[in-house]
Structure 1
Amino acid sequence: MSKVAIIMGSKSDLPVMQEAIDILQGFDIPTEVDIVSAHRTPEKLFEFSKNAHHRGISVIIAGAGGAAHLPGMVASMSPLPVIGVPVKSSNSIDGWDSVLSILQMPGGVPVATVALNGAKNAGILAAQIIGSHDKCVLDKIIFYKESLKEAVNKSSDELKK
């Protein structure tokens, strides 16, 4: 089965990134979770990026705050799809620095960027990528989206009472 790597720049990013871990567990997609700093552990970053596909990883979710170079650096070295999660950190400029660092990538180095602190959507997007070639995962995504629709319809019905 396909596996998703979830990496973050520091331990302080874990509360945000936990949402990606949780949603992927809900889809029964195995994950590999680690802390990889673009600035403090560049050798680890290079090793991870160049070899993730050899370890059965299909998609990489990379979250970082501040300068947020992690997703782009991973994307520059890995042949795998990278989903970037900008994280609003204590030293950020209200999160805008991480959003713009991940969003504005040069041609040839794509990073699919989700919203600020949007790790849940990153997990869903990773599942959808895997679901494009794994019917079991696709069926779980269809069920998940139906449950979202049902929740909205239930709220609508309750409002009308």
Structure 2
Amino acid sequence: MKVAIIFGSKSDKDVMKGAAEALKEFNVEYKAFILSAHRVPEKLMEVLHSLEEEGYECIIAGAGLAAHLPGVIASHTTLPVIGVPVKAELNGLDALYSIVQMPKSIPVATVGINNSFNAGMLAVQILSTKYESLKEALKQYRKNMKEKFIKENSEGVEL
């Protein structure tokens, strides 16, 4: 179980940490890269090729502004790609629209603006269709989440 996390700039690192946190929660191996679809496209293609050879099964890609990185990655691999729109300009809507509006036949699953944790969780869900132990861990995680929510909110809240 291996997931790659790729983002276009070191300024995106704090946003993309959430994906790593979610993957760590489920002991999913990951490797993170700073690569730009525009500044180092050859290096990006080299890394994508090596990820496929090394058995990675999903890619989380974060980008802001024009946010081409997730789409470029999706156009060069058949691995599932999860896009994370990173808030830069226009409150991140520019990145969200860029990632979510992929052309027919080249999909990128897209999570909310700056919500890389959900990207990690979606990667876990994708992998859980193949790995029974991960599916069971995900079920337990959700059960625990529900129990905690009920416990914390069962007595009502003070306003």
Q: What range describes the TM-score normalised by the shorter chain of this pair?
A: over 0.9
User: Which structure 2 residue ranges, 5 or more long, are not aligned?
Assistant: none
- Pairing 1:86–2:65 present: no
Identity %: 47
Structure 2 equivalent of residue 41 of structure 1: 40
1:108 pairs, out of 105, 117, 120, with 105
| Cα distance in structure 1, aligned partners of 2:45 and 2:108 | 17
Report the aligned-residue RMSD: 1.3
Counterparts of 1:9-158 in structure 2, within 5 Å, are: 9-89=8-88, 92-158=89-155
| Cα distance in structure 2, aligned partners of 1:7 and 1:144 | 26
Q: Which runs of 4+ in 1 moved over 3 A?
A: none
Offset, 1:56:
1.3
1:28-47 per-position Cα deviation (integer Å, ceiling 9, x unaligned): 00001110111111111222
Matched-pair contact (CA < 8 Å) for 1:52–1:78: no
Task: State the SS of the aligned residue for 2:3.
Answer: strand
State how many pairs are aligned. Answer: 158
- Report the TM-score when normalising by structure 1: 0.94
Q: Which amino acid in the other structure matches residue 29 of structure 2?
A: P
Cα distance change, pair 86–160 in 1 and its aligned pair in 2 (3 A): closer
